Amino acid sequence: GENVEQHPSTLSVQEGDSAVIKCTYSDSASNYFPWYKQELGKRPQLIIDIRSNVGEKKDQRIAVTLNKTAKHFSLHITETQPEDSAVYFCAASGRGSTLGRLYFGRGTQLTVWP
Amino acid sequence: NAGVTQTPKFRVLKTGQSMTLLCAQDMNHEYMYWYRQDPGMGLRLIHYSVGEGTTAKGEVPDGYNVSRLKKQNFLLGLESAAPSQTSVYFCASSYLQGILQPQHFGDGTRLSIL
């Protein structure tokens, strides 16, 4: 099945700086790549997603880029704020017999210092 | 519209006891999922269902059983609880509209096995 690796596992930045989290996937047929944010004690919530027919997508301070050739995708957060502190998960979709599944990375703990 | 609702929210069991976790969604989603979340391990898929009456194994299915008798409900059972099953359990749902749509998560069930 699909294998998703996520780096770094922890990331600390100063308020106002940018943060980048990177993920790689193994199955070139994966075509859907969501990112989830999970605050302490809360449910994971979708913050942005990208499909394989698009190379980049932006939503205010958040952007995701996808490189299908290299099989990696990244989350970019600009002008970070303390409320961006959370665990972020990337995921890639399954295909064929595993259609409907998401394969998650192990998460990145982002801390934004004021 | 409540989304995905999990019951109970907290539970403490003794080793060897059994219990059932209930997940209910009111979005008419075909797909439903059970994950467990342990520190540093991300979200690991236990079992999932692509429609009423169907179930499939995920990454860590041993020690768990599931049933999807109604489209809106997905039950996760522990027949003989073990301390290794102490975790936070999340249910999620999604659907296909030509292409895979995002997963929506419940608030989680915190389960401790003594």
What is the reported pLDDT for B1?
A: 67
Contact by Cβ (8 Å): A94, A4: no
CA-nearest of B21, B22, B67, B29 to B48 is: B67
Computed over every residue of chain B, the mean pLDDT equals 94
Contact by Cβ (8 Å): A93, A31: yes
Residues of chain A below pLDDT 70: none
Contact by Cβ (8 Å): B52, B107: no
Pick from B6, B27, B38, B43 the residue to mutate for testing the A interface (most A CBs within 10 Å): B43
Has residue B9 got a pLDDT over 90? yes
Q: Which residue in the set B33, B100, B107 is minimally distant from A93, CB to CB?
A: B100
**What are φ and ψ of residue A26, in 5° steps?**
-105, -30
Contact by Cβ (8 Å): A19, A109: no
A106 with B94: Cβ contact below 8 A: no
Pick from B9, B74, B100, B110 the residue to mutate for testing the A interface (most A CBs within 10 Å): B100
| Contact list, B38 vs chain A (CB under 8 Å) | none
pLDDT in tens, B17-49: 999 999 999 999 999 999 999 988 889 999 999
Question: Is the CB of A81 inside 8 Å of chain B's CB atoms?
Answer: no
What is the reported pLDDT for A97?
A: 74
Phi/psi zone of residue B111: left (φ > 0), alpha (ψ -120 to 50 degrees), beta?
beta
| Contact list, B58 vs chain A (CB under 8 Å) | 101
Alpha-carbon gap, residue B79 to B21, rounded angstroms: 11
Contact by Cβ (8 Å): A25, A48: no
B58 with A45: Cβ contact below 8 A: no
CA distance B25 to chain A (A): 15
Has residue B99 got a pLDDT over 80? no
Alpha-carbon gap, residue B11 to B111, rounded angstroms: 5
CA-nearest of B79, B46, B78 to B60 is: B46
Taken as a whole, chain B contains a residue count of 114
Q: Report the percentage of chain B scoring pLDDT > 90.
A: 89
pLDDT in tens, B48-66: 999 999 999 999 999 999 9
Count of H-run helices and E-run strands, chain B: 0, 13
What is the reported pLDDT for A106?
A: 94
Q: Please give the residue of chain A at the shortest CA–CA distance from B34.
A: A101
